[in-house]
Amino acid sequence: MKHPGILVAANVLFAALFLLSAGLQYNDPDPGIWIAIYVAAAVATLAALHVRGGWVAATVVALVCAAWAGWLWYSVAGHVEATDFWRKMSEKGGKVEEMREAGGLTIAVVWLAVAARAGRRGARRG
């Protein structure tokens, strides 16, 4: 399973960013679940390109993140605006936090989908 260097570098970068995101959850009101999902995203990201069949794990984690993100995006619709993403949470309350959480999950979905597709294509070739 030989993958282009840029893809491997991006994959490692995203795994590191997911681990950083997990580490930043220590002061979150519900850190356990967020640490778990970001660690799962990091592990699945690496597995997608470097472990035989790892693309399946990336797909499963992506689907979990997509369902969760969809629920969060639905819950904030009409309560916050895109510009609230950069404002202090105290200005709009918990909905801004939920929007940020949905954004993080959406990033995970997009990258995990890319990694899963690349991992699946690499498995077919090699």
pLDDT in tens, 75-104: 988 887 776 666 665 555 678 888 889 999
C-alpha–C-alpha distance, residues 104 and 22, integer Å:
11
Q: Reduced to 3 states, what is the DSSP secondary structure of residue 30?
A: coil
Domain that holds residue 40: 5-125
**Predicted confidence (pLDDT) at residue 4 exceeds the cutoff of 90:** no
Residue in 74, 42, 69 with CA at minimum distance from that of residue 58: 42
In contact, 37 and 18? CB cutoff 8 Å: no
pTM of the model: 0.88
pLDDT, tens digit, for every residue of 35-65?
Answer: 999 999 999 999 999 899 999 999 999 999 9
Indicate the number of domains in the chain: 1
Q: Reduced to 3 states, what is the DSSP secondary structure of residue 52?
A: coil
| Mean pLDDT (whole number) for 1-11 | 84
Q: How far is CA 83 from CA 73, 78, 87, 101, in A?
A: 15, 13, 7, 15
pLDDT at 29: 85
